[in-house]
Chain A
Amino acid sequence: MLSKRNIIILFVAVAAVAANFIIPKPFDPVIVLHAEYIPIPVRLPLLGDHIPNTVIATWVTMAVLILVSVLATRNMGLVPSGLQNVVEMVIERLLGFFEGMAGERARQFFPLVATFFLFIIVSNWMGLLPGYGSIGVWEEHHAEEVQAVETVAHEAEKAEEHHEEEKVLAPILRSAATDLNTTVALAICSVVAAQAFGFRAAGFGYLTRFIKFGRLFSFVKGLIGRGPRQGLETLLMGVGDVIIGVLEIFDEFTKILSFSFRLFGNIFAGEVLLIVIAFLMPLLASLPFMALELFVGFMQAFIFAVLSLSFFGLAVAHGEHEH
C-alpha cells in the first residue's frame, strides 16, 4: 500500500487540498438569475446591439447540431462508416428506446422528441466546457439605486454617492437552459405540439378529451324524453365530468410550468453549485460536481423527452379510443 507511487499520489492530493485554502481568490462570485446582455459590434435589426449570453449559447448549440448533421449526411453510403455510423447508432438507440416506450406511434413523434433530447443534452453538456461562464466582458455592476424621490439638488448628489460601481464579469457564453426564457419556450413547444398531435389524430373530437359532456347530455335527453331515463347519479357524475375537464385544461398549463421549471431549476442550480465550488475548493472538489452535472444534464434531457413522448401518446390515444 505504501509504495512510492501511492506516496506521490497522496502527497499531490494533500497539496491540492491545501492549495485551495492558500491561493487567494481573484474576486467574489456573482450569481445572476437573468441572462446578462452582451454588447455586440454590429447592430442587428430585431435584436439591437445587446444580446443575452444564453441566446449566443443557443446559437452555438444549434451550430454544433447542424454541423454534425450536415457532415454525417454528406456522401451517405448504404453501409455507414465514420461520422455517419456514429450518428446512425445514436438515432437507432433513441428510436429503439422510444418504441419500447410508446410502441408503434413512436415513429411519428420521433423527430420532435429526439430533437428535444438532442438539443437539451448538447446544450447542457456544452455548458460544462471551459469558456462558458469564464470568458466575458467586464461591466459595471450598478447597485440598487437609492430611491431619490425628491428632486432637490443635494438629495440627488447624495443618491449619486451611494451609487456603487464595481466591475463584474458578464460571460459571453452561458448554458442555454439556465435562462427561464429558453425552458419556457421548449415547454410551450412541447405542450402545443401535444395538442396539435391530438387534433391531427381525432379532428375536432379532440376537444371532448377535456370536458366530457356525454353523461350530462344523456341525463338531459332522459329528462326531455329523447332517450332512456337516467338516475340522479348520472347528473352528478356528469357535473363531475365537466369539473374534471376544466381541471384537466388547467393541468395542461401546469405542464408548461412544470416542464420549464424542472429543466431551469436543475440546470441553473447546477451552474450555481459549480460556481460556488469553483470559488471555494476548485482543485479537487470540482471533479465530483462536474460528474454530477454531466449526469444531471443527461437526465434532464432524457426526462424532458420521455415526458413529452408520454404526453403525446396520451393526446393521440384519445382519438383512437373514441372513433
Chain B
Amino acid sequence: MEALANPNFIAGFTIALGAIFPALAIGRFVSAAMEALGRNPSAGPAISTNLIVALAFTEAIAIYALVVALAIKFVA
C-alpha cells in the first residue's frame, strides 16, 4: 500500500482518472453533431464551428488534469 504514495504513480493516476469523463463527454458531443449533420447537411459549417468550440471547453478539463499530473511529477 505504501507503493501507492509514489509520486510517479500518483501523477499517472491523476491523468488517467481525469481523462475518463472528458473523453466520454467528447464522444457524446461528436455523436450528437454527427446526428445533426445527417439530418441537416446544409447546416454543416454552423454545426462544425459549434462542435469545435464545445470540444475546446471539454478538452480543457482533461488538460487541467494533465497539468496537475505534470506539476506533481516535475515540481516536487
Contact = CB atoms under 8 A, between A and B. Distances in A.
Contacts of B63: 261-262, 265-266, 269
Chain B interface, DSSP helix/strand/loop, else mixed = helix
Contact of B70 (A101, A268, A303): A268
10 contacts: A31-B74, A33-B71, A33-B75, A101-B49, A258-B57, A261-B67, A265-B60, A265-B63, A306-B56, A310-B53
Given A101-B49, A265-B60, A265-B67, 14 more contacts: A32-B74, A33-B71, A33-B74, A258-B57, A258-B60, A262-B60, A264-B67, A265-B63, A265-B64, A268-B70, A269-B66, A269-B70, A272-B70, A302-B52
A302 B56 CA distance: 10
A100 B67 CA distance: 34
A307 B53 contact: yes
Contacts of B59: 262
A174 B45 CA distance: 36
A264 B64 CA distance: 10
Interface in A218-269: 258, 261-262, 264-266, 268-269
B3 to A, nearest CB: 22
A143 to B, nearest CB: 13
Interface of A: 31-33, 100-101, 258, 261-262, 264-266, 268-269, 272, 302-303, 306-307, 310
Contacts of A31: 74
- Top 3 A-B pairs ranked by shortest CB distance? A265-B63, A303-B56, A262-B60
Contacts of A100: 45
Contacts of B70: 33, 265, 268-269, 272
A32 to B, nearest CB: 7
- Chain B, interface size category, equals 10 to 19
A142 to B, nearest CB: 15
A268 B63 CA distance: 10
A265 B66 CA distance: 7
Contact of B53 (A265, A266, A269, A306): A306
Interface in B20-59: 45, 49, 52-53, 56-57, 59
Contacts of A269: 63, 66, 70
B44 to A, nearest CB: 12
A93 to B, nearest CB: 14
B27 to A, nearest CB: 18
A310 B49 CA distance: 12
A258 B57 CA distance: 8
Nearest to A33: B74
Contacts of A268: 70
Contact of A306 (B52, B66, B71): B52
Contacts of B53: 303, 306-307, 310
A205 to B, nearest CB: 28
A306 B64 CA distance: 20
Contacts of B60: 258, 261-262, 265
B45 A303 contact: no
